[in-house]
Amino acid sequence: MNSYPAPALARVEEMVAAAATDPARAVAFQGAPGCNGHRAALEWDAACLPLPCFSFEDALDAVKDGRAARAIIPIENSQHGRVADIHFLLPESGLSIVGEHFMPIHHALMALGKGPFSAAYSHPQALGQSRVFLRQRGIVPMAYADTAGAAAYVAELGDPELAAIAPKIAADLYGLAIIEDNVEDAADNMTRFVVLAREGLDPAVLGDRAAMTTFVFEVKNIPAALYKAMGGFATNGVNMTKLESYQKGASFAATTFYADIVGAPGDPAVDRALEELAFHCKELRMLGTYPQERTRG
């Protein structure tokens, strides 16, 4: 908690105390009050008690420790790709994905002064999503742990030549003026969040609702292993909407894949596809089956 800038710390302490009164309603998110994770928690569950956490690991630990029933974590952005480290953190957390939420992302440039500005602080994702805007104005991007925390940090520094890129609400929370709104480079900028809990959902409880299933796997180190592993999804008509690879360990010999499919275990086609996948894998770990918030395909 003490890693937050002073302007954010009092609000963090208030929200942590409120969440402690009813952990079953608490939803952990990464960042300072006013960040996009805070917004996503309230959009996903308007009755929740948002619990700010300084890092993604802290948010996941809050669920594992029982201080929150769920955590909401950004996993990918339409403009800037996957959120760093999340693919490593989710499998290691031991938590299960129980929901997803898509949220349009709009950034504002905010500051104490009126400009020009030498630098702008924000989360690396927000800086990447506003790259063209910053370059055209000669503003140096400076990475910070989260967007709203960057706004609080700029307020704490008191330098009129520094700015922050954050949600509009952060300007109100930390006494900054909005210099320019909607500074993201793409009007359709969208982030997908996943909701995690200690216990996964039983696919049977979803009934006829459209479902997503997420898993990670490592194929055997033989020629065409990935090609063969993917064949079961094609032959059984299972739509794979996401497949990303990342290196596991420092040897560069073992590649792990992260995948989303439409459907749920219990569906014969999905079961057959997963059975064929498992045959070609050294490891297959299910991360959760959950209701589909947005139609794929």
Token readout for 6 is 């002073």
Average confidence score pLDDT of the chain: 93
Query: Is residue 294, in this structure, part of any structural domain at all?
Result: no
31 & 77 share domain: yes
154, 164 contact by CB (below 8 A): yes
Catalytic pick among 191, 213, 214, 256: 191
Q: Is the pLDDT of residue 57 over 50?
A: yes
Tell me, yes or no, whether 215 and 266 share the same domain: yes
Kindly state whether residue 159 falls inside one of the protein's structural domains. Answer: yes
Q: Do 19 and 92 lie in a common domain?
A: yes
User: In the chain, pLDDT over 90 holds for what percent of residues?
Assistant: 83
- Whether 213 maps to a domain, the answer reads yes
CATH number where 216 lies: 3.30.70.260
pLDDT over 70 at 249, yes or no: no
Please state the rounded mean pLDDT for residues 235-259.
84
Query: How much is the average pLDDT of 234-244?
Result: 95
**Contact indicator for 257, 233 with CB cutoff of 8 Å:** no
Residues 134 and 79 in one domain: no
Of the candidate ranges 92-106, 146-160, 237-251, the one whose mean pLDDT is the lowest: 237-251
Identify whether 297 is part of a domain: no
Residue 30: inside a domain, yes or no?
yes
Look at the chain and report how many structural domains it folds into.
3
Domain boundary among 181, 211, 243: 181
Question: Can you tell me the distance from the alpha carbon of 145 to that of 29, in angstroms, rounded to the nearest whole number?
Answer: 13
Task: Indicate whether 131 and 72 sit together in one domain.
Answer: no
**pLDDT above 70 for 41:** yes
Residue 79, domain extent:
6-104+190-197
What does the pLDDT look like over 4-30, one tens digit per residue? 999 999 999 999 999 999 999 999 999
Q: pLDDT tens digit string along 262-291?
A: 999 999 999 999 999 999 999 999 999 999
Q: How far apart are CA 72 and CA 193, in angstroms?
A: 6
Judgement on whether residues 97 and 113 belong to the same structural domain of the protein: no
Give the 3-state secondary structure of residue 141.
strand
Residue 1 has a pLDDT of 46
Going by pLDDT thresholds of 50, 70 and 90, the confidence category of residue 252 is: low
- Spatial separation of the C-alpha atoms in residues 96 and 265, rounded to whole Å: 15
* Residue 45, domain CATH: 3.40.190.10
255 noted as active-site residue: no
Q: Are residues 85 and 143 in the same domain?
A: no
The confidence score (pLDDT) of residue 296 equals 84
Among 189, 197, 196, 139, which residue's Cα sits nearest to residue 167? 189
Q: Is 193 exposed, middle or buried (0-12, 13-18, 19+ CB in 10 A)?
A: buried
Q: Which of 193, 215, 217, 257 is catalytic?
A: 193
241 is an active site residue: no
**Quick one: pLDDT at residue 253?**
65
pLDDT band at 251 (very low <50, low <70, confident <90, very high): low
Tens of pLDDT, residue by residue over 116-175, are 999 999 999 999 999 999 999 999 999 998 999 999 999 999 999 999 999 999 999 999
Query: Final residue of a domain: which of 149, 172, 197?
Result: 197
Residue finishing a domain among 165, 197, 229:
197
For residue 1, tell me if it sits in a domain.
no
Is the same domain home to 114 and 98? no
Residues 214 and 164 in one domain: no
Distant-in-sequence, close-in-space partners of 128: CB < 8 Å, separation ≥ 6 = 79, 80
Kindly state whether residue 174 falls inside one of the protein's structural domains.
Answer: yes
